[in-house]
């Protein structure tokens, strides 16, 4: 089996994660997006596991991790950072790289600026930045807060193929895996997505959670931003500002994608690997 499955208690909450390449010392934390699970990272984690240990958590309220008993106070970036800090402490990780898609990138940015400052060595933000477009946030909030239900797995897969079309090209096998790792049964036997809908309350109770320019500007580590060519969440002008302030991110546009590149094809894996392996990532010319 290419990965192993584990659980840890972090800040009193049970958190699930998969581990790839456990034989390696150098580690990458790969953190998924808002309404997704750590299994989204399977392809890039498998690729990186030839030289890195890769840890792919399920955020609180997603996948196989515990749902929060206190949604208002725990479904927010600062609590996710507390969980991340507890996770890496228990794993004995002093220094490591961070790869974050969307929300996972925001968690990494805030963590690198606060409790994990000096421990995150290099940061990749996959279609995430310190300022996000409000119309896109409203779109995400609308579908994430009211997940539909289905009679059949094939109906869920069709829904995911529509909602996540901006991810870019995925093979039929990758779409099927996304459906199977995104599904949970309801008491009536119907199928819905594998997360707590209350996690969308973050946008109600913490409306400025993703305003992270102060945190971003404080970073002094190499940062790579992968921006989907057609992203409606990370606008081109925001990515350009990221080049010119704070850590002066390297920005690479991923063609044929919106929000967010799926990190499921060799060209994207190689960008990630080269950045983490470069002797001077800030001069990364991808």
For 273, phi and psi rounded to 5 degrees?
-60, -45
CA distance 239 to 128: 9
Residue 1 has pLDDT above 70, yes or no: no
Q: Which of 98-102, 133-137, 167-171, 205-209 has the lowest mean pLDDT?
A: 133-137
Question: What is residue 100's predicted lDDT score, i.e. its pLDDT?
Answer: 98
Q: What is the pTM of this model?
A: 0.96
Place of tokens 């690997």: 273
Task: Tell me how long the chain is.
Answer: 286
CA distance 224 to 243: 10
Look at residue 206 and give its three-state secondary structure.
coil
For residue 122, the tally of other CB atoms under 10 A from its CB is: 22
Question: What is residue 284's predicted lDDT score, i.e. its pLDDT?
Answer: 44
- Domains annotated on the chain, with CATH: 3-283 (3.40.50.1820)
Structure tokens given for 29: 């934390």
Question: What is residue 286's predicted lDDT score, i.e. its pLDDT?
Answer: 42
Per the prediction, the chain carries an average pLDDT of: 95
Question: What is residue 280's predicted lDDT score, i.e. its pLDDT?
Answer: 58
CA distance 30 to 27: 10
Structure tokens given for 254: 């991923």
For the chain, first and last CA: distance in Å? 32
Instruction: State the DSSP code for 195.
Output: B
Residue 285 has pLDDT above 50, yes or no: no
Average pLDDT over residues 120-130: 98
For 276, phi and psi rounded to 5 degrees?
-70, -25
Which residues, listed in sequence order, are joined to residue 27 by a DSSP beta bridge?
A: 53
Q: What is the pLDDT of residues 157-203, one digit of tens each?
A: 999 999 999 999 999 999 999 999 999 999 999 999 999 999 999 99
Average pLDDT over residues 40-48: 98
């Amino acid at each position: 089996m290419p990965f192993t499955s584990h659980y840890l208690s972090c800040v009193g909450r049970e958190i699930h994660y998969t581990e790839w390449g456990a034989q390696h010392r150098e580690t990458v934390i790969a953190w998924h997006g808002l309404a997704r699970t750590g299994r989204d990272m399977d392809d890039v984690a498998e690729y990186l596991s030839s030289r890195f240990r890769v840890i792919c958590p399920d955020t609180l309220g997603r996948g196989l991790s515990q749902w929060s008993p206190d949604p208002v106070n725990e479904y927010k970036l600062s609590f996710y950072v507390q969980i991340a800090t507890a996770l890496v402490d228990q794993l004995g990780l002093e220094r490591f790289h961070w790869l974050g898609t969307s929300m996972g990138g925001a968690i990494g940015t805030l963590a690198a600026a606060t409790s994990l400052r000096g421990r995150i060595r290099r940061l990749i933000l996959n279609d995430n930045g310190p300022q996000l477009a409000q119309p896109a946030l409203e779109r995400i909030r609308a579908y994430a807060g009211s997940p539909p239900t289905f009679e059949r797995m094939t109906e869920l897969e069709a829904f995911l193929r529509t909602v996540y079309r901006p991810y870019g090209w995925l093979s039929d096998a990758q779409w099927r895996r996304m459906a199977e790792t995104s599904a949970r049964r309801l008491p009536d036997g119907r199928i819905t997505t594998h997360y707590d809908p209350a996690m969308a309350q973050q946008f109600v109770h913490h409306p400025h959670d993703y305003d992270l320019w102060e945190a971003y500007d404080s970073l002094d580590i190499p940062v790579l931003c992968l921006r989907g060519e057609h992203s409606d969440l990370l606008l081109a002008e925001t990515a350009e500002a990221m080049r010119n302030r704070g850590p002066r991110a390297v920005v690479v546009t991923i063609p044929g994608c919106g929000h967010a590149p799926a990190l499921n094809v060799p060209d994207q894996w190689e960008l990630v690997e080269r950045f983490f392996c470069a002797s001077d990532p800030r001069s990364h010319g991808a």
